[in-house]
């Protein structure tokens, strides 16, 4: 079917990084080719190059609209890979789907362990690329279409966020609504990735996972790429790196369960009755363990959010070309909202690019 054909064009390349018995880390192989910039980025993201020697079985992130997924394993003593202590399989793709690519890279790891040559990996990669499927007797088969993107969007837990931040979750919701810059810090990359990947679900109507940069280093090139984005969610594992006021409007220190709003963002982020209602809805929905799944919590939030957008349509008008809704400032003023509410709605209109330029 058509859907499968589209799906197969999402993968860009597969690569292999190895650590040998002398502790050398080498970029061994890549199909098709890659650039020096991307290769350096992937070496930086791969935990084998990390000083603190922690093994991260799986990490993912994004760089200039290319997603990367890296699975790393320790080579068992019994393996035929004699001079290798660890290796990482790297995939770069056009799409966000950690669940899917974690599964696929695990299969590729098992193949490399068994055959000791990248040839089998390349065959499987090409099979998935062209047919959306790879079957291997002993390593399990992989079917692209088992991994619907909606599943990837719903994989995190909004509940966990609410249980950590309670009413303060509304700050995150507001920051996302206004397309602000959110920086998240925790020393463990797994925790950062789990938290950041869930945040876009708070503004489900946008289906906006492109704002997610879940694993950043304080590298000039990465930061330049990040600063080209209007709003984003950026994850760091280093406190010094993440605490850069020029990088955020909202700073989330997950280790301390603290959310800080930057001075310059305070005006746009001022809380109103509207926010309070939204915050209460989020907390009530997330705490209703009896009848609620995570996806129902997301739906509740989405419904309430849609209500705010319906509000916007009351004082916006469609331009002559019939395409674009823009704000009618007079109509907004006539509604006589409390100043803070009017201020928030105005900022929301700006974020939605509904201002007449």
Would residue 209 count as lying in a domain?
yes
Cβ(86)–Cβ(21) below 8 Å: no
Boundary of a domain, candidates 226, 245, 265: 265
**Three-state helix/strand/coil letters over the chain:** CHHHHHHHCCEEEEEEEEEECCCCEEEEEEECCCCHHHHHHHHHHCHHHCCCCCCCCEEEEEECCEEEEEEEEECCCCCCCCCEEEEEEEEEECCCCHHHHHHHHHHHHHHHHHHCCHHHHHHHHHHHHHHCEECCCCCCCEEHHHCCHHHHHCCCCHHHHHHHHHHHHHHHHHHHHCCCEEEEECCCHHHHHHHHHHHHHHHHHHCCHHHEECCCCCCHHHHHHHHCCCCEEEEECCHHHHCCHHHCCEEEECCCCEEEECHHHCCCCCCCHHHHHHHHHHHHHHHCCCCCCHHHHHHHHHHHHHHHHHHHHCCEEECCCCCCEEECHHHHHHCCCCHHHHHHHHHHHHHCCCCCC
Residue of 265, 240, 237 whose CA lies nearest to 250 = 265
95 assigned to some structural domain: yes
What b/e readout covers 288-320, taking b as 16+ CB neighbours within 10 angstroms? eeeebebeebbebbbebbeebeebbeebbeeee
Cα R_g (the chain), whole angstroms = 23
What is the C-alpha to C-alpha distance for residues 112 and 104, in angstroms, rounded to an integer?
13
The span from the CA of 271 to the CA of 56, in Å, is 39
Would you say residue 297 lies in a domain? Answer: yes
Same domain, yes or no, for 105 and 218?
no
Both 112 and 41 in one domain: the answer is yes
Residue 253: give its domain's CATH number: 3.40.50.11500
In this structure, the answer to whether residues 227 and 334 fall within a common structural domain is no
In terms of domains, do 193 and 52 share one? Answer: no
Q: Going by DSSP bridges, is the β-strand pair 250-253/84-93 parallel, antiparallel, or unpaired?
A: unpaired
Co-location of 142 and 82 in the same domain: yes
How far is it, in rounded angstroms, from Cα 351 to Cα 9? Answer: 32
Q: Which residue has the tokens 């650039």?
A: 35
Alpha-carbon distance 208 to 52, whole Å? 33
Within 10 angstroms of residue 94's Cβ, the number of other Cβ atoms is 11
In tens digits, the chain (357 residues) has pLDDT values of: 334 444 557 899 999 999 999 999 999 999 999 999 999 999 999 988 876 677 889 999 999 999 999 999 999 888 888 899 999 999 999 999 999 999 999 999 999 998 888 888 999 999 898 888 887 666 668 888 888 888 888 888 999 999 999 999 999 999 999 999 999 999 999 999 999 999 999 999 888 899 999 999 999 999 999 999 989 999 999 998 888 889 999 999 999 999 999 999 999 999 999 999 999 999 999 998 887 788 899 999 999 999 988 888 888 888 777 777 788 888 889 989 999 999 999 999 888 887 765
Q: Is residue 357 part of a domain?
A: no
> In total, how many domains does the chain have?
3
Q: Are residues 170 and 224 in the same domain?
A: yes
- Kindly state whether residues 62 and 189 are assigned to the same domain: no
25 inside domain? yes
Q: Which pTM does this prediction carry?
A: 0.92
Please answer whether residues 296 and 186 qualify as being in contact, where contact means their C-beta atoms are separated by less than 8 angstroms: no
Domain encompassing residue 115: 2-151
Q: Do 136 and 185 sit in the same domain of this protein?
A: no
Same domain, 90 and 73: yes
Q: Is 161 inside any structural domain?
A: yes
The encoded tokens of residue 125 equal: 């990669």
**Domain-embedded: residue 247:** yes
User: Are 147 and 228 in the same domain?
Assistant: no
Return d(Cα 190, Cα 326) in angstroms, integer.
Answer: 41
Longest dimension (CA), the chain: 76
């Amino acid at each position: 079917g058509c859907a499968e054909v589209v799906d197969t064009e999402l993968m860009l390349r597969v690569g292999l990084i190895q650590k040998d018995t002398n502790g050398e880390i080498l970029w061994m192989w890549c199909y098709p080719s890659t650039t020096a910039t991307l290769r350096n980025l992937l070496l930086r993201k791969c935990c084998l190059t990390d000083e603190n020697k922690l093994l991260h079985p799986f990490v993912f992130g994004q760089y200039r609209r290319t997603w990367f997924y890296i699975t790393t394993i320790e080579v068992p003593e019994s393996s035929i890979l004699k001079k290798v202590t660890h290796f990482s399989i790297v995939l770069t793709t056009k799409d966000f789907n950690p669940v899917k690519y974690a599964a696929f890279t695990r299969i590729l790891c098992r193949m490399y362990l068994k055959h000791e040559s990248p040839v089998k990996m390349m065959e499987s990669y090409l099979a998935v690329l062209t047919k959306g499927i790879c079957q291997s007797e002993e390593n399990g088969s992989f079917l692209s279409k088992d991994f619907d993107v909606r599943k990837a969007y719903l994989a995190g837990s909004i509940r966990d966020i609410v249980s950590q931040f309670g009413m303060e979750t509304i700050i995150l919701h507001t920051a996302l609504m206004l397309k602000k810059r959110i920086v998240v810090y925790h020393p463990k990359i797994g925790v950062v990735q789990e938290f950041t990947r869930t945040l876009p679900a708070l503004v489900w109507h946008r289906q906006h996972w492109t704002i997610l940069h879940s694993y950043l280093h304080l590298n000039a090139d990465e930061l330049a790429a990040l600063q080209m984005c209007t709003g984003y969610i950026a994850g760091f594992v280093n406190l010094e790196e993440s605490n850069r006021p020029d990088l955020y409007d909202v700073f989330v220190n997950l280790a301390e369960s603290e959310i800080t709003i930057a001075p310059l963002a305070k005006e746009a982020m001022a809380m109103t009755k509207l926010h309070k209602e939204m915050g209460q809805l989020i907390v009530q929905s997330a705490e209703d363990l009896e009848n609620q799944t995570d996806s129902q919590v997301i739906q509740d939030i989405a419904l309430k959010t849609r209500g705010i957008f319906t509000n916007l349509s009351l004082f916006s008008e469609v331009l002559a070309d019939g395409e674009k809704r823009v704000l009618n400032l007079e109509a907004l003023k006539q509604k006589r909202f409390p100043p803070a509410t009017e201020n928030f709605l105005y900022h929301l209109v700006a974020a939605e690019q509904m201002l007449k330029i």
